[in-house]
Chains A and B, each alone.
Chain A
């Protein structure tokens, strides 16, 4: 069973979002997603300053096997991207909820966070997928 921290919000496409105390939102992919992809070898993060919309393609994670789009769980402006993934994409496998974060947004509409799945909802979504 993969880890699903209770304090995060999720998309059923396996992204997580964390509302930080300064009002920004950090985004990454779930433990289940990194396990399903296998060893990551390339991560393309969005440029700082780019405006993303909820559900839009924001980043790409590639494992040895395949490339996958990462969707933004909320709308907003990119204020930081995890540049260490350029040389160490394996951080996403090792620590998907910590050092393997992908990017940070300044959300344009915080209410969108409430529309995301909570940990229980994401766990149910995984079960429905047959995991």
Chain B
């Protein structure tokens, strides 16, 4: 048996199919995964993301500490509540984890990290904390529900009572403490919506309220097809400790400027850039019939070989899409080895889908 979120019994009572995810007992779907996917693209869906770890980083030198620890630069965070996506790198430039960091005030930043890496991440954060005198506090007392979709904010507002108006004013990629909640306009689906943090004990009632407001229960299955359509990386699939962000489609998240800012992994990334980054992460659309899956071999004719890092059937596009790590010189046409047959796939710019609209 794995770890359980405060909503575990709620999921089981709703008839969810539970699976292990990074050591956590989580709902993969409540019925049709494809219907859950469409609910988020067309209306509103909710996900229990309480397995992810929230940690508060506090102390007067928190910004300085995070500027050294993160590959993206928290100097970009000037307004209270603003969020930033960043990789946490090791000295070799490999990805320890990816995370979201919120700037709340100069003495308090909040990070949200992946479930499967939480212990490793906390150890990593603490390892560098000493010289900066910052305190790292895992908030296992909190639960988090993501409400996503074009109607998500309207439907979830009713649950926030007197805080609804302030929540509605949040701009994309901003979060704010509102009474017992921390509401942020963020997500992992490519749709508008909020991620709402609350005391663990409040989560079952909040979830039931959202359900009554017409928000569909969605599992990790739909979460994965939504994030892939939205062109978002999944840690452990698309990048890990053995690969750099420059080969994972995450170059945009590495702040090389200003050049005088040192950060963990910087020297390794500079060396990699100098020698020429050998591989890149690309989006693929399968042109033949079949389904792309992680670890399938990709053949780039005349160039070399690569591998699918994620692949699925896209419910919105009704065809198969994926990410692959391939040689840097790979052109537009590749082949994918699916059960011994080489099928045609096209390299495309992603995201594949954003705000309900196909982009390819």
Contact = CB atoms under 8 A, between A and B. Distances in A.
Contacts of A42: 289-291, 313, 320
Interface string B323-348: 00000000000000001000000000
B291 A38 contact: no
A60 B221 contact: no
Interface residues of B, number: 17
B28 A39 contact: no
B32 A39 contact: yes
B290 A39 contact: no
Among B17, B29, B34, find the residue whose CB has the most chain A CB atoms closer than 10 A: B34
Contact size range, A: 10 to 19
A65 B315 CA distance: 12
A64 B34 CA distance: 8
A62 B313 contact: yes
B293 A64 contact: no
Contacts, number: 37
A64 B289 contact: no
Interface in B1-51: 17, 28-29, 32-34
Contacts of A44: 290
A67 interface: yes
Interface of B: 17, 28-29, 32-34, 221, 225, 289-291, 293, 312-313, 315, 320, 339
Given A38-B29, A42-B290, 8 more contacts: A39-B34, A41-B291, A42-B313, A62-B291, A64-B34, A64-B312, A67-B291, A86-B289
17 contacts: A38-B28, A38-B221, A39-B33, A41-B291, A42-B291, A42-B320, A62-B290, A62-B291, A63-B33, A64-B221, A64-B225, A65-B28, A65-B33, A66-B293, A67-B291, A67-B293, A86-B289
